[in-house]
Amino acid sequence: MYQYRQTLVRMRQGDSDREIARSKTMGRKKIAQVREIANARGWLAPDSALPEDAVLASALMRKEALPATCISTLEPWRAQIGNWYAAGIQGTTIHATLVRNHGYTGSYSAVNRFLHQLVVDDVPEVPMRLTFKPAEAAQVDFGAGPLITDVHTGEIFKTWFFVLTLAWSRHQYAEFVRDQSVATWLGCHRHAFEWFGGSVARVIIDNAKCAITRACVYEPEVQRAYGECAEGYGFRIDPCPPRDPQKKGIVESGVKYIKGSFLPLREFRDLADANRQLHEWVMTQAGNRIHGTTREAPLKRFADVERSLLIALPDVPPQLATWAKVKVHRDAHVQYDYNYYSVPFRLVGHALWLKASDTMVTLYREQESVATHVRLTRRGERKTVHDHMPAAAQAWQLQDTQWCLKEAERIGPACHALVHALFGDAVLIRMRAVQGVLRLKNKYGATRLEAACSRANHYGTPGYKVVKSILEKGLDQQTMLAAFDALASTYTEGGRFYRDTQTILQ
């Protein structure tokens, strides 16, 4: 319409068709048509006003209308073709299927034109750009880091980097880590809030397992530990819908920026050196660049406006603890992080909640705390409280070598000698045999057991089966009678203390 209006203006000024055509606005033939229409409608009169664009369009624009008979031969299968196209099936496959199954006789070009018409008819998806107020929200994500070789130990390990970006100022916190566990996730949040000097009202995340246990559009389930962290720092968790990372595009761009601007052509001595370089880069190059969207330096926007609006950190930092559902094994222990912790034996087979902080491990049955341990630092260790074990197990643990020798000494010298002989075996550890001998006291008494041990020692056959057989057959009682007879003979005729009357009177 601008070209038509300029052409009419020059015609009213007296320019010829040839002069107008030299400006390459339109060809002479088209100019002649415009002049004819303008003369007929009186638009070239100097004292008349030029018409509105709508009037010009209705008079000068070419009417393009499809013939009434222009209906595609594929119209009967519109719905089916639309479903196939939405499923990503190629046009050639659709044409071959129509020919094979529906007897279609048209060409592939007809199918191609029909698919183009479907694209035109589709309503385009128009995303809505999210805007945020200062201190309103932050976005969090992980990115794949480099392999780092520790110069001190020679260890080669994989890394990730955690990024938390303030949605308004674009100022960010980043940190290299060795895993994406719940404890690492919580620790990085604490480091980020301490880095900024406050927290935000909302944290937008994806559906990582360290934060969301069940991803869902409407009712996602949050990790219990992360929920406690949010409550302690005063922010609310806003997970993105599954498979829709565009809703946290600010931090996605931050991750790409670190990968493209910081990581290339850098060397790291260890994890600490990598984090030192990363923090320095954030506070210099990344923080002072002119951001492509805000057209300001993120660090300046943060310092001037957003820092003062952040939610103040609590006076006492909240305890960051990891929760896990564990089952009590048959040995009255639970396993967590490759270590073992005891619980009362009556809970064997039950499922418990385990809360693990940096220093302590606490186990709960519903709301009741049933066991507390100092957290083990090395893998494969075992922490056992003796009171958690059954009485028999506690007694068995106490019945070591010294206990057995003292118990045998209380029974008698013969029992002590037999137990000492059993412990002196150069080939076998005779602990169970000794414990079996001592337990015979409960059935036969200490006196009979001492006599049986004496008989076994006399014949040079100290052992559990021998002592048990002597007691079962009553042979220990014969030994006791023989000892009594020997004692009695000292007081009878011919005995050691025997004196007749004559001797006494003399």
Question: Domain total for the chain?
Answer: 5
Give the model's confidence band at 45: pLDDT under 50 very low, under 70 low, under 90 confident, else very high. confident
Q: Is residue 141 part of a domain?
A: yes
Residue 167 pLDDT: 96
Fill in the amino acid letter for 301.
R
CA-based max dimension of the chain: 185
Q: Which helix (H) or strand (E) holds 465?
A: helix 464-473
* Lowest-confidence region among 144-148, 366-370, 371-375: 366-370
Same domain, 153 and 288: yes
Mean pLDDT to the nearest integer, 279-305: 96
**pLDDT tens digits, residue range 89-99?**
999 999 999 99
- Contacts (Cβ under 8 Å, ≥6 apart) of 331: none
Domain assignment present for 68: no
> 228 vs 211, 232, 279, 395, 506, CA distance in Å?
11, 6, 28, 42, 105
Specify whether 144 is located in the same domain as 43: no
Q: How far apart are CA 200 and CA 478, in angstroms?
A: 90
| Averaged pLDDT for residues 473-486 | 67
Please check whether residues 143 and 241 belong to one and the same domain. Answer: yes
One domain for residues 151 and 244: yes
Percent of the chain with pLDDT over 70: 90
Tell me the per-residue pLDDT of 7-19, one tens digit each, with 9 for 90 and over: 888 888 888 999 9
Q: How many CA atoms lie within 13 A of 184 on its CB side?
A: 18
Q: Using the predicted structure, report yes or no on whether residue 477 has a pLDDT greater than 70.
A: yes
Pairing of β 148-149 and β 172-177: unpaired
Task: Kindly state the percentage of the chain with pLDDT values over 90.
Answer: 58
- Confidence at 57, pLDDT banded by 50, 70, 90: confident
Burial label, 423 (beta-carbon count in 10 A; 0-12, 13-18, 19+): middle
Helices 431-439, 401-411: axis angle to 10 degrees equals 30
Question: Under DSSP, is residue 111 helix (H, G, I), strand (E, B) or coil?
Answer: helix
For the ranges 28-37, 84-93, 137-146, the one whose mean pLDDT is highest: 137-146
Task: Assign 489 a pLDDT band (cuts: 50, 70, 90).
Answer: low
pLDDT at residue 493, as a whole number: 53
Instruction: Summarize pLDDT for 369-412 with one digit per residue, the tens.
Output: 999 999 998 999 999 988 888 876 655 565 678 888 988 999 99
Residue 65: is its pLDDT beyond 70?
Answer: no
In which domain, by residue range, is 103 found? 75-121
pLDDT reported for residue 64 = 45
- Residue 428 pLDDT: 86
| Residue that finishes a domain, picked among 373, 390, 407 | 390
Task: Check: pTM over 0.95? Answer yes or no.
Answer: no
- The tokens describing 46, both together, are 């100097």
Cα 344 from Cα 340, distance rounded (Å): 13
Among 282, 309, 336, the domain-final residue is 309
Q: How far apart are CA 174 and CA 276, in angstroms?
A: 11
Q: 284 and 172, same structural domain? A: yes
Return the pLDDT at 391: 72
Residue whose pair of structure tokens reads 């019945």 in the numeric block: 399
Q: Token pair for residue 110?
A: 């007809």
> Is 314 a member of any domain?
no
Residues 341 and 424 in one domain: no
Paired tokens of 305: 């406006």
Of 161, 171, 177, give the one whose Cα is nearest residue 263: 161
Question: HSE on the CB side for 21, CA within 13 Å?
Answer: 12
363/358 Cα distance (integer angstroms): 15
